[in-house]
């Protein structure tokens, strides 16, 4: 089997991103806040705007697209959380690996590439939100070094579910503080 490569998509790759995103929403609706039907209706301009707004990373093996993840600015967390974010914290979101490629290291390659991209952007940490009941995702993120934080919030589209923020230090800077990100 050939190596997995991960590349950053350009704006003109919007349709590749769109296809991966729609596949993710169809296959794993419970993992994402948005829905397949909602995003199917978006036009080219919207997808292009999305490409410009965040970094999109695509995992490919033997010319087959196997996984996708996005990287953007982390949004502020409520005042009561110990976990405060700033512009040096990037948020990882929209992580999805095609079921046939799960358990093969593709997800790890995506996180590794996202961490490298975050370092390029002078970020110190990656953070993400994951539904606490998503056992496989929580196990995966833990296995690649993400640490649970005390930040929780209800899932916007289903308030019976809770999301947890997890954090991964990515900086070589020894002054970067992993648990208190507001410095």
Binding site residues, ligand COA, CB under 6 A: 28, 31, 95-97, 102-103, 106-107, 130, 134-137, 139-140, 143
Which residues on neighbouring strands pair with residue 55, listed in sequence order? 71
- Give 34 or 177: the residue with its C-beta nearer to ligand COA: 34
Give the residue ranges of DSSP H helices in the chain: 14-27, 36-40, 44-53, 106-120, 135-143
CB of 63 to ligand COA, least distance (A): 20
Report, in angstroms and rounded to the nearest whole number, the Rg of the chain calculated over CA atoms.
Answer: 16
Contact 167, 149 (CB under 8 A): yes
Are the CB atoms for 140 and 97 separated by under 8 Å? no
Using the minimum distance from each CB to ligand COA, give the nearer residue, 135 or 175: 135
Least distance to ligand COA from the beta carbon of 183, Å? 26
- Please say which residue, 107 or 181, places its beta carbon nearer to ligand COA: 107
Minimum CB separation of residue 27 from ligand COA in Å reads 7
DSSP, collapsed to helix, strand or coil, labels residue 130 as strand
Q: What is the DSSP letter of 99?
A: G
78: enclosing H helix or E strand: none
Q: How far is the CB of 175 from ligand COA (least distance, A)?
A: 29
Q: How far is the CB of 129 from ligand COA (least distance, A)?
A: 7
Residue closer to ligand COA, measured from CB, 70 or 124 = 70
**Measured from the CB atom, is 103 or 178 closer to ligand COA?**
103
Instruction: Give the residue closest to ligand COA by C-beta.
Output: 135
Let me know the angle formed at the C-alpha of 112 by 96 and 168, rounded to the nearest 5 degrees.
90
């Amino acid at each position: 089997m050939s190596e997995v490569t991960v590349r950053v998509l350009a704006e003109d790759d919007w349709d590749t991103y769109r296809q991966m995103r729609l596949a993710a929403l169809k296959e794993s609706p419970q993992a994402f806040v948005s829905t397949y039907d909602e995003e199917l209706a978006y036009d080219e301009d919207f997808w292009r705007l999305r490409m410009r707004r965040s970094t999109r990373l695509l995992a490919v093996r033997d010319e087959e697209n196997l996984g996708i993840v996005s990287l953007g600015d982390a949004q502020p967390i409520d005042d009561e959380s110990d976990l405060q974010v700033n512009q040096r914290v990037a948020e990882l979101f929209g992580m999805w690996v095609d079921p046939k490629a799960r358990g093969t290291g593709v997800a790890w390659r995506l996180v590794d590439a996202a961490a490298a991209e975050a370092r390029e952007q002078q970020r110190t940490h990656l953070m993400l939100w994951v539904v606490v009941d998503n056992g496989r995702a929580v196990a995966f993120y833990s296995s690649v070094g993400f640490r649970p934080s005390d930040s929780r919030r209800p899932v916007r589209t289903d308030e019976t579910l809770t999301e947890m923020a997890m954090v991964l230090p990515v900086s070589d800077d020894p002054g970067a503080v992993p648990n208190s990100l507001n410095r």
